[in-house]
Structure 1
Amino acid sequence: MLKDRLYYQDPYQISFTTVVKQQAVDDHGRPFAVLENTAFYPTGGGQPHDTGYIATIAVVDVEEVDGEIRHYLESPLPSIGTVSAEVDWKRRFDHMQQHTGQHILTAAFVELYGYPTVSFHLGREIVTIDLATESISADELQAAESLANEIILENRLIEQKWITKDELSAYSLRKQVSVDEEIRLVIIPEFDTNGCGGTHPSSTGQIGSIKILSTEKQKKNTRVHFVCGKRVLDTLGSVYHELSDVAKQLSAPMDHAAEATQQLLETQRTLEKQLDGVKEQLLDVEATILAEEKSTIIRKTYTNRSMQELQKLARKTLALRNQAIVLLVSDDGEKLQFVASRTNTLTPDMRTVSSIALPVIEGKGGGSASTVQGGGERLISAEELLQLLERSIPVHA
């Protein structure tokens, strides 16, 4: 029976002696052992499996398959018979804290706002619940977190009870159970009663605390990320370390790091505006130099110039000439980009230019009769592309 399993009889029992009933290899070649009884919790109900040792062999996974608990091993046991085993308590207790914290936080959202939990995931670093609501406010998150921590601080006893289906009507469950036999209830008096097959501490105080970290939209639900117990301290330590490093780089006290960061961002935005202004002035100078060319066709190659820069430079140059065609090509070492543009006083259809040039560089582009642009592979040199563009002009004005 389920209730006879050691991890249900006493979730604090981590060392035990038992008999190995079977050793085998699954369809994927993984060795496993089946024990007469076990304190190792198998993956289920959103809670990950325990790890530890049987004899001196590491237990790397635990699963329930067809009613038997398989302990997947790093290597086969040396022999079958009586063995000593030990569960990794640090991992077990962490799961107990996170799972019970989930019960409490879920119940808090139901108690305060009627938001039920539709799914639960206990990860290695973060725990999540998906609430059946499309949005949730910061005030609601704070209120639910506060209520959950009040329940923890009150150190209420946690009762674990096995009942029959006929006895269910005597209990007010948070949600309906999914089994008809060997029903196990986890009860936090006057707060939450829930059918659950996980491991839990004997009182709420052992959870330590709960901290909500963030939320995200998940289709029509809201996913809440949180941590409990020692993970709260680990997260606080990690955040403190990162914030301390940021404050040091900003040469500011830690409690003024946000203000110093805001000032830095404002300075950066100001410098970016100034830089944009300088770039614009440089383009004006370049356009003036290009416009002084005596030829009607003005041509130039560049290195690592953006398409936006080429387009601006062509416009600025043509604005200084009554009649001209500008052909500009940029080479970034991997790709070629070009702009071909003319003044409205000339008549060549520049789309003819791009239709000839683009296939040669396996490129794509677009434009109008007066201006085209495109880019493609560096199958020829920038100078060769420039020459091709010039040869492709239908009529020289």
Structure 2
Amino acid sequence: MQTIKLYNDDSYLKEMTTTVLKCEQDEHGPYVVLKETVFYPTGGGQAHDTGLLDGKKITNVALVQDEIRHYLTESIEVGKTVQGSIDWIRRFDLMQQHLGQHILSAAFEQLFDIETASIHIGERYCTIDLEVAQLTAKQVEQAQGLSNQVILENRKVRAYYVEKADLGQFPYLRNQPKTDTNIRLIDIADFDTIGCGGTHPKATGEVGNLAILKQERNRKQVRLTFICGQRVVQELIQASQLNREVGALLHAPEAEIISKTTELLAQKKALEKAQKEWQQQQFMQQAEALLTEQQSLFDRTLILKEDNQQSVAALKKVAQQLINLDSTLLVIFFQQTGTQVTYLLAAGKEAKVNLRSLIQCFNQALNGKGGGSPFLAQGSGTFQENNGNLATTIKELLNQELGEENHE
């Protein structure tokens, strides 16, 4: 026996007395199947109702294999007569959102012949995905305007059960229903008709208002985020509070928040540019000073330096400046903390060194890992203090590897 869907005949019915037909448990927990129900299950893009059944909290309602399962915090025995009541505030909110979606989808179809591919009536925000690659701001504004006009006109909303042969009686039918019999239509007077099993108010005025909050691409479609009714009021309250708080932080009235923020962002950009230029000057000064410390290495020049103060990123900048100043340089920076070492290698175009090969020699000698390009490489490894001085070890490694190249 299928549960009688009381919500289909009266979306405003808040309470019921019924009988438990089945009580079982699945992976989601204990559930009951009732003789009739006012609880709408998740479906058609609309979230489920919540509420109480004999004082026990209903956490979910789902349509599973043609039965409506009411999930509870605990079981109820089969055959018991029970009292059920829905969370009306939640239900009416979802009714507002669902009818608002019908109105918005119809507005886009009537104004621009754009169909709705899918919908989602969420607990905070709602979305529709439109069968179009892009929308202009003016199109969004026009659809929102028409939607609110229809809401303000307080048009009647009726549910009809019809057969396929009767569909011609509805001139505003948007899509052909997928079923051929016992078709449930939601009709907004002289504006829109569509097959739907959800819950809706009796008139468009009960939607209150509709606001489109966001537009974004979703694959080859456009997704609009919108809200209706009390959600719009709450969003406005939150936005107003946020504006006041931001205005206080900026020491500016709400009307000047954008201009003040633009001014601050421009200042930030200028400061970042100045800081970058200053850093480049510092890197250049370091590089010029280090040129005085260069050593001969066969037919190359070498700069070997320990620097535990700067970041590896900063050392890369200095190394780049060095090889720009002298293309024959081989630059090696290293850092040492205890037994942990980091090494950075840079080579000018005329240094006659392939760092991809040389970094592997460092990795092997220092039990490390690293890599890079022929002109810039870095790695990290370990070096035991009882093995001597790291700078001396690096020189010996260079003499061995580059000396062999020269010998060859």
Per-residue deviation, 1:190 = 1.2
Task: Indicate yes or no: 2:371 matched with 1:364.
Answer: yes
The one-letter amino acid paired with 1:133 is: V
Q: 1:161 to 1:265 in 2, by over 3 A?
A: same
Inter-partner Cα distance in structure 2 for 1:338 and 1:386: 13
Q: 1:366 to 1:386 in 2, by over 3 A?
A: farther
Q: Aligned with 2:252: secondary structure?
A: coil
The one-letter amino acid paired with 2:122 is: G
Q: 1:353 aligns with which of 322, 335, 358?
A: 358
Inter-partner Cα distance in structure 1 for 2:135 and 2:102: 19
Question: Unpaired segments of 5 or more residues in structure 1?
Answer: none
Question: Unpaired segments of 5 or more residues in structure 2?
Answer: 297-301
Alignment of 1:1-397 (within 5 A): 5-26=5-26, 28=27, 30-77=29-76, 80-172=79-171, 173-293=173-293, 295-296=295-296, 297-303=302-308, 305=310, 309-318=314-323, 324-329=329-334, 336=342, 338-342=344-348, 344=350, 347-358=352-363, 360-367=367-374, 371-375=375-379, 377-380=380-383, 389-393=394-398, 394-395=401-402
Q: 1:136 to 1:381 in 2, by over 3 A?
A: farther
Q: Aligned with 2:82: secondary structure?
A: strand
Q: 1:175 to 1:358 in 2, by over 3 A?
A: farther
Give the stretch that moved more between structures: 307-316 or 199-208. Answer: 307-316
Inter-partner Cα distance in structure 2 for 1:381 and 1:194: 78
Per-residue deviation, 1:200 = 0.2
TM-score, normalization by structure 2: 0.87
Q: 1:147 to 1:294 in 2, by over 3 A?
A: closer
Inter-partner Cα distance in structure 2 for 1:256 and 1:11: 46
Give the stretch that moved more between structures: 114-123 or 272-281. Answer: 272-281
Q: 1:239 to 1:289 in 2, by over 3 A?
A: same
TM-score, normalization by structure 1: 0.89
Q: 1:338 to 1:239 in 2, by over 3 A?
A: same
Q: Is the 8 A contact 1:209 1:228 kept in 2?
A: yes
The one-letter amino acid paired with 1:361 is: G
Q: 1:48 to 1:354 in 2, by over 3 A?
A: same
Inter-partner Cα distance in structure 1 for 2:309 and 2:11: 64
The one-letter amino acid paired with 1:356 is: C
Q: Is the 8 A contact 1:131 1:222 kept in 2?
A: yes
The one-letter amino acid paired with 1:268 is: K
Give the stretch that moved more between structures: 357-366 or 40-49. Answer: 357-366
Give the stretch that moved more between structures: 93-102 or 329-338. Answer: 329-338
The one-letter amino acid paired with 2:196 is: C
Per-residue deviation, 1:292 = 1.6
Q: Aligned with 1:395: secondary structure?
A: helix
Inter-partner Cα distance in structure 2 for 1:10 and 1:332: 75
Q: Deviations over 1:49-104 (max 9, x none)?
A: 10000011001111223333221111112674222110000110111011100000
Q: Aligned with 2:293: secondary structure?
A: coil
Q: Deviations over 1:282-322 (max 9, x none)?
A: 11221122112163332223347555533431243355569
The one-letter amino acid paired with 2:292 is: E
Q: Aligned with 2:212: secondary structure?
A: strand
The one-letter amino acid paired with 1:373 is: A
Q: 1:246 to 1:139 in 2, by over 3 A?
A: same
Aligned length in residues: 391
The one-letter amino acid paired with 1:151 is: V
Q: Is the 8 A contact 2:170 2:193 kept in 1?
A: yes
The one-letter amino acid paired with 1:327 is: I
The one-letter amino acid paired with 1:175 is: N
Give the stretch that moved more between structures: 160-169 or 87-96. Answer: 160-169
Per-residue deviation, 1:327 = 0.9
Q: Aligned with 1:156: secondary structure?
A: coil
Inter-partner Cα distance in structure 2 for 1:291 and 1:59: 76
Q: Is the 8 A contact 1:305 1:332 kept in 2?
A: no
Overall identity of the aligned pairs, in %: 34
Inter-partner Cα distance in structure 1 for 2:195 and 2:51: 27
Q: Aligned with 2:44: secondary structure?
A: coil
Inter-partner Cα distance in structure 1 for 2:3 and 2:323: 86
Inter-partner Cα distance in structure 2 for 1:255 and 1:385: 62
Q: 1:364 to 1:320 in 2, by over 3 A?
A: closer
